[in-house]
Structure formats: structure tokens, C-alpha cells
Structure 1
């Protein structure tokens, strides 16, 4: 009886992509392209701001006095923070651009490999934002803990 099961081949399940699904995927590629372009523009502005904010802070005495004890290291910290934020916005824009380009090619030409690459980029995009979300939640819990510990000492 066990031999009967060993001889059977596993049933291969094929997914069917309907025309309605192709239409949805094509619409997704349009929005992904739009959002990737917006993301590129915003990330470039943030990176440019990273390098122009120190000059602005040094040229404005009111801002310099508000920086107080940080002095020139404050402008360096601001530059680093803005530069990292710009890079954090740039990476998902690259992934969205890949989704848009490969997805469109896969849908229009029936290219399975391009569609697979688009879905892999989409997976990477969700993993990236999931990781960022976990990091932000962990930071908030750490901040709440630190504030609670500070209140308890006072």
C-alpha cells in the first residue's frame, strides 16, 4: 500500500492570471512608476538639504544661538541625519522603479522572468518597510522606557 503513494507524482498547481488581474497589475506598474519618481525627487531634495542646512545654520545667528552647546557638531549631526533619511527614501524608490519597469514588461509581453523579478522587488520593498517599521516601534518603546525611567528617578 505504501508503494502506491511513492509512485504518484505530486500534482502541480498552476496559477491562472486572468485579463482582469493583468489589468490590475498594469495599473499597479503605473502607480509604482509615479511613486518611484516622486520618491527620487524627494530623496534628492532631502540629500541636497543635508548639505545646505549647515551653511544656512552658520549664516543665521538666530539659528546658531538656538543650537546652543552643540555648535558645529550640531550641523554635522543634522547633515548626517538628513543624508541617511535621503538614502532611506532613495532605496525604496529604486525598488518601486524595478517593480514598475519589470512588471510592465512582464504584463505587456507575457515575460514570466520579468514578472518574477517585479514580484521579487515588491517583496524586497515590503521587507524593507517592515524592517523600518519594526525599528521605529522598537525606538518608541525604548523612548517610552527611558522617559519612564527618567520620571521614576525625579
Structure 2
């Protein structure tokens, strides 16, 4: 058998490999951003917990509404709808808040200790956060367009 050796990549003198340089100014921006994202993530996590608690107290909320306003549309929908609604809201707030928290911790560690691995993790969490909100935005815009088209169909169908 032939003896194969791994070829090393050799840079030619005219070619330089592009590198991203993180200056002290950029590090200070990342560190300050990490502080704010930690604050926002903690607030988001607390609100998500309160929404989850509201989901599990939907029965009490509906009973209170039934006494105060018996004809309220929320009372007619029932506790199951309210529970699912608040749980969905809670999960939709929990996930991005959790990503922000993970970003904040990784970014802080990366900046303080010049840790490339944590910097990569921080950027990965930031990418995931924006991807999540991008998908949610696409879904909401699609629902708006669908609702608008259904409204047009309903109006033209009713006029005939």
C-alpha cells in the first residue's frame, strides 16, 4: 500500500487569511450588552413564571369573571382555553429569555477571560434568539395576510 501523508495547508505569501479582531472597545460593548441582556432575561423569566402560574389559576380567574361580568366572552370560552393561552404565552416568553440568559453568561465569561469557546457559544445563542423571533414574525405576518385575504373573500362573497 502507498503511504499517504496529510497535506498541510500552506499559505502563499500574497494570500492572507482574514481574521476578525475583537478590540477593547468591542469587548466593552459586549460586556455592557451582556449586563442588559441578563437584566432583560431575568425579567422575562419572572414574567414567564407568573404567566404559567396564571395558567394554573385559570379556574379562579374564570370564576371571578363569571361573578363580575357573566356575559364576558372569556367566561364563555372556559378554563381550558385560558390555561392553554397562558401556557403558550409563558413558553413563548421563556425560550427567548432563556437564550438571552445563556448569551449573557457566555458573553460575560468570554469578555472577562478572553475565552474563544464562550464567545462562540454567546454568538450561537444570539443567532438562535434572532432566528426564533424571525420565525415568530413570519408566522404572525402570515396570519395577518391570511386574515386579510379571508376578510376580502368574506366581503366579496357577502356582496354577491
After TM superposition, is the score higher than 0.5? yes
Aligned: 1:101 with 2:105? yes
Q: Tell me, yes or no, if the aligned pair for 1:102 and 1:118 is still in contact at 8 Å.
A: yes
Structure 1: unaligned runs, 5 residues or longer: 1-6
Number of the residue aligned with 2:4: none
Number of the residue aligned with 1:4: none
How many residues of Structure 1 are paired with residues of Structure 2 in the alignment?
146
CA shift, 1:111, in A, is 0.5
Worse-matched range after superposition: 96-105 or 56-65 = 56-65
Number of the residue aligned with 1:61: 67
CA shift, 1:146, in A, is 1.3
| Structure 2 CA distance for aligned equivalents of residues 8 and 129 of structure 1 | 41
Aligned: 1:131 with 2:135? yes
Q: Tell me, yes or no, if the aligned pair for 1:57 and 1:63 is still in contact at 8 Å.
A: no
Number of the residue aligned with 1:86: 90
C-alpha distance after superposition, 1:9-51 (max 9, x if no partner): 5632111111100100101100110110010011111111112
| Structure 1 CA distance for aligned equivalents of residues 117 and 40 of structure 2 | 23
| Structure 2 CA distance for aligned equivalents of residues 67 and 127 of structure 1 | 35
Q: Which has the higher helix share?
A: 1
**In the TM superposition, what are the counterparts of 1:1-154 in structure 2 within 5 Å?**
9=12, 11-59=16-64, 60-67=66-73, 71=76, 74-154=78-158
CA shift, 1:62, in A, is 4.2
Aligned with 1:65: secondary structure?
A: coil
Q: Which has the larger radius of gyration?
A: 2
C-alpha distance after superposition, 1:37-91 (max 9, x if no partner): 01001111111111223322124334443238x84x5321121011011000000
